[in-house]
């Protein structure tokens, strides 16, 4: 069915608005952490995949890092393997790690690859173990209760943090027609697998590549002020102040810390965007308004 005149004019205006952004970002690397509702809702899945394919087609270099916590929890529950959490992190013994690898490196990763490919892209799925892409070290967790004089160090098993990123592997993929889709599983010096927070992996990948943008998809509209209004353009100094005065707290802190670290380490900008909005990645990158919170070092 042909577009009406009004629809055609609107489409032309959108494309015209996008043109300077396309010119600015051609050849640049965009690292996207994919998770939340955008990963579960079928319509949002397809709009995300189309956004990623479009980025590659017009000359950007998207890299997708994905999570999969709910899917891991579901399979552990189906297998009658009990989950324990300390400070919000899943205690991951060898049996649990087997499930994590199966879900992240197998099921979820291949679903995303298939989704991008079915929307016209050429995606390849990896875990951090492939080509030793992500070297990991065991994450040491400190736990303290009011009655304790000093915090105790708790071993939560195969949970890690990023020790290093193999840039050669990423460069090889980025400088091709391939879209890398990375599951956040690293390999330790002992050859063991480690589950790493996907936000942290995305942030570190963006840092080592000195990416143009780090985009973190969330289930909220963006960073809010104390009145519940979305904060759009922020400098790292302003974000530090919002943390200091308690505006940013709780569950958002790890995500914000990841975004701040990336920008302070040379990533041009970090975006915390609403993954519940269709085509949120394209709207954030190629329109004046965007759909979330932008953090940069520039005042």
In percent, how much of the chain has pLDDT > 70?
90
Average pLDDT over residues 272-285: 86
> Which residue from 238, 129, 145, 237 is spatially nearest to 186, judged by alpha carbons?
129
Residue 63 and residue 205 in contact, taking contact as beta carbons nearer than 8 Å: yes
Residues 124 and 179: their CA atoms lie apart, in Å, by 6
Report the DSSP beta bridge partners of residue 179: 123
Point out the least confidently predicted range of 114-123, 125-134, 252-261: 252-261
User: Given the DSSP bridges, would you call strands 29-34 and 213-218 parallel, antiparallel or unpaired?
Assistant: parallel
Residues 197 and 262: their CA atoms lie apart, in Å, by 15
Give the model's pLDDT for residue 299.
Answer: 54
Average pLDDT over residues 155-163: 90
- pLDDT tens digits, 222-262: 777 777 777 777 888 888 888 888 777 777 778 888 898 99
- Band of the pLDDT at 54, cuts 50, 70, 90? very high
Give the model's pLDDT for residue 180.
Answer: 97
Instruction: Using the predicted structure, report yes or no on whether residue 213 has a pLDDT greater than 90.
Output: yes
Give the model's pLDDT for residue 148.
Answer: 56
- Exposure b/e, 94-116, CB count within 10 A at least 16 = b: eebbebbbebbbeebbebbbebb
Average pLDDT of every residue of the chain: 86
- Domains annotated for the chain, with CATH where assigned, are 25-296 (3.40.1160.10)
Half-sphere exposure of residue 253, counting CA atoms within 13 Å on the CB side? 10
Instruction: Using the predicted structure, report yes or no on whether residue 280 has a pLDDT greater than 90.
Output: no
- pLDDT tens digits, 75-108: 988 998 888 887 777 888 889 999 999 999 999 9
Residue 133 CB: number of other CB atoms within 10 A?
Answer: 24
């Amino acid at each position: 069915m042909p577009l009406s005149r009004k629809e055609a004019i609107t489409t032309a205006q959108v494309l015209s608005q996008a043109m300077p952004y396309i010119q600015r970002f051609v050849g640049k690397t965009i690292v996207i952490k994919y998770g939340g509702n955008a990963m579960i809702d079928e319509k949002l899945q397809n709009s995300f995949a189309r956004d990623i394919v479009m980025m590659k087609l017009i000359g950007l270099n998207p890299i997708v890092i994905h999570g999969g916590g709910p899917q891991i929890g579901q399979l552990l529950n189906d297998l009658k393997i009990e989950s324990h959490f300390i400070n919000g992190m899943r205690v991951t013994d060898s049996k649990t790690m087997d499930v994590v690898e199966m879900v992240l490196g197998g099921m979820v990763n291949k679903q995303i690859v298939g989704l991008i490919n079915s929307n016209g892209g050429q995606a390849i799925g990896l875990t951090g173990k492939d080509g030793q892409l992500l070297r990991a070290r065991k994450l040491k967790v400190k736990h303290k209760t009011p009655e304790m004089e000093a915090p105790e160090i708790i071993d939560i098993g195969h949970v890690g943090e990023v020790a290093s990123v193999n840039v050669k592997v990423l460069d090889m993929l980025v400088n091709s027609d391939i879209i890398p889709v990375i599951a956040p599983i690293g390999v330790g010096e002992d050859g063991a697998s480690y589950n790493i927070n996907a936000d942290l992996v995305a942030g570190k990948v963006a840092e080592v590549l000195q990416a143009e943008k780090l985009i973190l998809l969330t289930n909220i509209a963006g960073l809010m002020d104390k009145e519940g209004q979305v904060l759009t353009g922020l400098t790292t100094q302003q974000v530090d102040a919002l943390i200091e005065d308690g505006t940013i707290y709780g569950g958002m802190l790890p995500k914000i810390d990841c975004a701040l670290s990336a920008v302070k380490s040379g990533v041009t900008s970090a975006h915390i965007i609403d993954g519940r909005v269709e085509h949120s990645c394209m709207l954030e990158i190629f329109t004046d308004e965007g759909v979330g919170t932008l953090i940069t070092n520039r005042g």
